[in-house]
Every structure is written in structure tokens, then in C-alpha cells.
Structure 1
């Protein structure tokens, strides 16, 4: 295969990679705070809110992400009465599906981080005269984030790889262009290039989270 042919393969795949990265950024930025809100919900003293949080997490973690994407993209428009108002752009629908799904996983990560904090931290904060808000923002949340950071990093890498599911809902991302090139040129080279691009993205992400871990460890 000539350099020109490789260049013709790589160009559209890089465009697909932009979609992959964009979806990842949108999903991670929205899912992390939503996941934290879900963590607060399941810890709420109001049983209705806590029940809703647990039910939501169970539903999202208990069903495949692909099924959720298919439901949002193709199922919502079929709902009676409101279906015509639920027709979303494919990329927007995919972003919504990833955000709703990963928020449930981040919620469990944050819950585990909170459970790992010794109760003595709360008592020590009271002795120091810190109010509930100060205790939460200055003592609990920094420790929770430090504990949860490795799991967040792992889930983020999984999110990058799961963007390949966009192929199933006809959103042209990296894998879509790789498959198109394979069918057109009858060569596995596009799959190899796609794998390299995924590795570069996940390597960058891994290095970023390692930097964050070192920073929080030193702090």
C-alpha cells in the first residue's frame, strides 16, 4: 500500500477521531457532576429521592449501553403522544445516552470514595469548629476525589473505547470510517490505524490522570 493510499485512509479517520474525542469530552464533563448529584441523592434522608437514585443506578448499570443508545435514538420517537417531540439529532442522542449511562457508574465510584473516608474525619472537623459546608468542601470532597481518582481514570478510558458504539446508531466516528475503508480497499490496514489512534487517545488520557494523581498525592 502506497503512502498516498495510507494518507487517503487516515484523513477521514482523523475526522472520525474528532467526533470520538468530542463525544468523550461532552460525556465526561456532564457525567461526572451528574454522578456526584446521584451520589448525594442515594445518601439523602428523603426516602423517595434515595429510592429514585438507587433505581436509576440499577437501571443504567443493569442494561447494556448499546440498548440504551438504541432506545434513545430509535425508541423515543415511537412513544405515543410525545414521540414526535423526542426526535433528536443522532450525535445529540448519543451524547445523552453516554451521559446518562456513565453518570450511574461515576455515582458508584463517588459513593465508594465517600465510604472509604474514616468517620473520624467528620468528628475532627467538628472539633475544629468547621460547619457542615466547610467540612464537606474542605475536608471530605478533596479526600473523596483523591480516593476515587484511579477508578475515574479507568472509567474514562472505558468511555473512550465505548464511543465505538456510535457505529451502531449511524454516527460517523472513528470505527465507522475504518470499516468503510476496509470494505472499500479490502485491507485490514484501516483497523490497524484505528487501533493506533485509540491507543494514542487512551495513552494521553492515562498520562493526564497520572499527572492528576501525582499532584493530589503531593498536595
Structure 2
């Protein structure tokens, strides 16, 4: 098999990694914020239920979650199996929303309560206090830990090959079974470049927020 053919095949597989990365990030960030509100809810049954979800997602392997999401629908309703990419997206979003929720929760609770009380004294509503006082400081606080999770997500997309999603690592392994070992190093290069771009974007974002120190 020619170098050009392998390259094109690997790039097509890597597009699935990028697609899974984008879907997970776009959906898990807002879901994580909602989940963080649930964990901080004063309604105890809701808080306990959401905390249980976060505990399960953070305490079990992502590969196990992938297997459950992919195989469980077929077990409950024979013949109804989720497409592999859909199952991977659902598992990743649920998993990363749990991690992001804890980062959001830590950021929100880390804002001094005195600033919220000052907002109330000035006659601001809770919504105004959150968006104009709390949220700005939360964003600054969560960028570094959020960046670490996002970089981890780049690498974790390769775990989707556990349910046979045709991403770049699975393709590299398939080539390896044919006696071609170099595609594995090729896959590593793709991840190095992708992570380099993500790291650069995160670094620039952090620098833009330097003006707002907490």
C-alpha cells in the first residue's frame, strides 16, 4: 500500500477524532454548567441525584461507559443499536460533563461571597450578580484546569476505537496487523500537532484574561 493511500486513510480517520472532540466540547461544557448548578442545589434530592451521576462518571473507566452506551440499547431492545459514532459521542459528553461540572462548581464557589452580597446591596438581581460579577471571575479561575481536561480530551478520543469507531488509532492498528508499524508513529504525530494547536489556543485565551485578576 502506497504512502499516499495510507496518509489519506489516516487523515479520514483523524477527522473522526476531531469531530468527536468538537461534539464533546460543544455539548459537555454547557451540560457541565447545568450539572454544577444541580450539585449546588438546595433541593437535596436533586443535589444527591446529580452528585451520584458525577460520582459514577468520574469513578468508572470511560471505556466501560462506551461499552454500556453502545451495547445497552440493544440489550434492552433487541435490534436497536446506536451507531458507533453516536454512542461514542453520548458517552464522551456524559463523561466530560461530569468533570467539567466539578471545575465549574469549584470556580463558582471560589468567588468570595462578599462580592455577591455587595451586588445585592446595590440592588442587583441574582441573574445580574451571576453574569456581571460571578461569571467573569469564574471564567478566569477555571481556564487552567479546564485547559488540562480539554487536552486530555484530545487524547481520549482514541478510546472510541474500543467500540470499533474507525478513528486514527484503530486504522493504525489495522495497518499494524498488516505488518506496517510506521502508521502508529504517524498517528502519534497527528496527536502532537492537534494538541499543539489546542495548547496554543488555550495559552492565548489565558493571556487575554490576564487583565482580569482575582
TM-score of the pair, normalised by structure 1: 0.92
Q: What is the match of residue 27 of structure 2?
A: 30
Q: What is the match of residue 209 of structure 2?
A: 216
Match of 2:16 among 10, 14, 19: 19
3-state SS, counterpart of residue 217 of structure 1: coil
Q: Distance in 2 between matches of 1:5 and 1:142?
A: 52
- Change in Cα spacing, 1:143 to 1:86, as seen in structure 2 (3 Å) is farther
Deviation digits for residues 7-61 of structure 1 (CA, Å, limit 9, x no counterpart): 2221111001100000100011000111100100011111111111101000111
Q: Provide runs of 4+ in structure 1 moved above 6 Å.
A: none
Q: What is the match of residue 142 of structure 2?
A: 148
Q: What is the match of residue 133 of structure 1?
A: 127
Is 1:7 the counterpart of 2:4? The answer is: yes
Is 1:111 the counterpart of 2:108? The answer is: no
3-state SS, counterpart of residue 24 of structure 1: helix
Match of 1:41 among 16, 21, 38: 38
Aligned residues: 212
3-state SS, counterpart of residue 44 of structure 1: coil
Q: 1:160 Cα shift?
A: 1.1
RMSD: 1.5
Is 1:187 the counterpart of 2:180? The answer is: yes
Q: Distance in 2 between matches of 1:74 and 1:89?
A: 10
Q: Distance in 1 between matches of 2:73 and 2:63?
A: 15
Q: 1:115 Cα shift?
A: 2.1
Q: 1:127 Cα shift?
A: 2.9
Q: Distance in 2 between matches of 1:86 and 1:132?
A: 45
Deviation digits for residues 116-175 of structure 1 (CA, Å, limit 9, x no counterpart): 211121122123321111000111112112101111111011111111111110110010
Q: What is the match of residue 197 of structure 1?
A: 190
- Change in Cα spacing, 1:194 to 1:125, as seen in structure 2 (3 Å) is same
Q: Distance in 2 between matches of 1:35 and 1:102?
A: 8
